[in-house]
Amino acid sequence: MSARENILGRIRASLRRTDSDGAAARARARIDAHALSPRPSVKGDLAALFRTNAVKLLSTVAEVTHLCEVPATEAAYLRAHNLPMQAVCWPEIAALDWAASGVRMESRPARRSYDSDLVGVTGVFCAIAETGTMMMRSSGNTPPATSLLPETHIAVLNLSQIVPSMEEAWQRLRYTYGPGPFMPRAVNFVSGPSRTADIEQTLTLGAHGPYRVHIIMVAEGD
């Protein structure tokens, strides 16, 4: 008997309880089921709701029809904000035709140096319409550094990745990874630019991460 089982057994004994009624099995089954708790209903156009809430969080949003339009859309954004025409990205993003847009793209994690990587381009695991938040999972091909270290984070989001609420986002993550013990080492939520108001209640952007978050919403993939 493990120390945990010994402690729980002593607690049950002091309460004059046994596990003969299968309470432990029912509790475990309930936990494993990941049942959704009551929550407000999120209806209507999820993409429109996500965009509205993302803008409220000070993200900027562009919309394109096809994935192949992303490089030109990003190039226009970089020029409009006087940013360098170069960036680092996730491998899935590197497959796009960046050369034609004039953007020099490197498929690698962002570096720590202050001025080395000013723009990071990533995909998104899913996005939450109710809050305008993007959910990012870490892996070898989706390094968190690319969305956290650069001053500007550009996220490419397919409309099919938008879910109504936080509960559905976690459901999607569990479904993706299955019942096994392995989950992403880190799950990050991006709700607009990094911000703080610690000093004199004055809002400052970019205090602990990017101070620009630009989302390119793609209606359908190529």
Quick check: 222 pLDDT over 60? no
Question: pLDDT of 99-147, one tens digit each?
Answer: 999 999 999 999 876 568 999 999 999 999 999 999 999 999 999 999 9
Task: Catalogue all structural domains in the chain, each as residue range(s) with its CATH number.
Answer: 3-33 (no CATH), 46-220 (3.40.50.10420)
pTM (global) more than 0.85: no
Burial 86-106 (b: 16+ CB within 10 A, else e): ebbbbeebeebebeebebebe
